[in-house]
Structure 1
Amino acid sequence: MSHYCDDFFGPGHSIVFALSKARHLLTAEMDVALSGTGVTSSQVGVLLLLSRDRAHTSVGLSRLLGIDSGFVTRMLDRLERQGLLRRARISADRRVVSLTLTEAGRDVATRIAEIAPAMLNRRLAGFTPLEFATLCRLLNKLLEG
């Protein structure tokens, strides 16, 4: 089934436009909420994935976050300069660099886990539980497609 056609396509009808606008809105609000932590919304995923042992390498982060490896490397450089993570070569394969959070990084990840849900809940306050579940289900379906 086709949902779009040439004569009925524009920013007001494009899910790409709506998703992009929603992303920018949420990113801006998250950056304000995180202003006291020293990190930005773009660094949240890295810190939370590392803190929950979901990833240990830049390649793993890149795959899970769906962002290119160059962007991940620049983000890791910033987090390392801030003293929030450490890189260490794995002796068995020196090409692989293992990532671990420092104590300061774990503290920031804990703060993020307290701040982010409150900000998201404020933005989603107008959604019923069913609407929220439907939104999540449909976004996951779009990502799987």
Structure 2
Amino acid sequence: MSQHHEDTFLPVQRISFALSKARHLLTADMDVELAGTGVSTSHIGALLLLYVDLARTSAGLSRALGVDAGFVTRLVDRLEQQGLVRRDRNRPDRRVVNLTLTEAGRDLAAQIAEIAPTVLNRRLCSFTPLEFATLCGLLHKLLDE
């Protein structure tokens, strides 16, 4: 017997569609603002996490971004090729590879930290403070944080 029926599935489908569409709109807006920097929205999470020191390794980025290790490896490879990130072996435990931003990476991350709020504010400007707080609370609840 099927667990999904039209009357229960469609509202969930609409929520999934709305979340996906919101993400795509924000991604498109951010990509426009990042044009000419050499990075896309898939890079900014890693750059900002490294910039504010919330992650120091690929495993840390993987956990924080909620993506698999293979994605992070490819992402760090690209950022390293662009001269934005450096990999360094940890001295006490050489199995651990620390990630650090280069000077160019720090400069770009600082620029992104200024751009991102502007992009988000354009999309969220019609929200009241209470609506914004409610949205944040509901998203955290959805993410089980």
Fold conserved between structures, TM > 0.5: yes
Which aligned segments of 4 or more residues in structure 1 are displaced greater than 4 angstroms? none
Aligned residue identity for 2:138: L
CA distance in 1, matches of 2:85, 2:59: 16
Q: Can you give the 5+ residue segments of structure 1 that lack an aligned partner in the other structure?
A: none
CA distance in 1, matches of 2:66, 2:13: 25
- Report the CA distance between 1:93 and its aligned residue: 1.7
Q: Which residue does the alignment assign to 1:6?
A: 5
Q: Secondary structure at the match of 2:127?
A: coil
- Report the CA distance between 1:102 and its aligned residue: 0.2
Aligned length: 142
Say which is worse superposed, 5-14 or 98-107, in terms of deviation.
5-14
The Cα RMSD (Å) is 1.7
Q: Can you give the 5+ residue segments of structure 2 that lack an aligned partner in the other structure?
A: none
Q: Which residue does the alignment assign to 1:119?
A: 119
CA distance in 1, matches of 2:36, 2:113: 14
- Report the CA distance between 1:91 and its aligned residue: 2.5
State the TM-score, normalized to the length of structure 1. 0.91
Q: Which residue does the alignment assign to 1:68?
A: 68
Q: Are 1:88 and 2:88 counterparts?
A: yes
CA distance in 2, matches of 1:106, 1:79: 12
CA distance in 1, matches of 2:69, 2:14: 28
Q: Which residue does the alignment assign to 2:23?
A: 23
* CA offset digits 1:58-83 (Å, max 9, x no partner): 00010011111111110100000000
Q: Percent identity?
A: 68
Q: Which residue does the alignment assign to 2:34?
A: 34
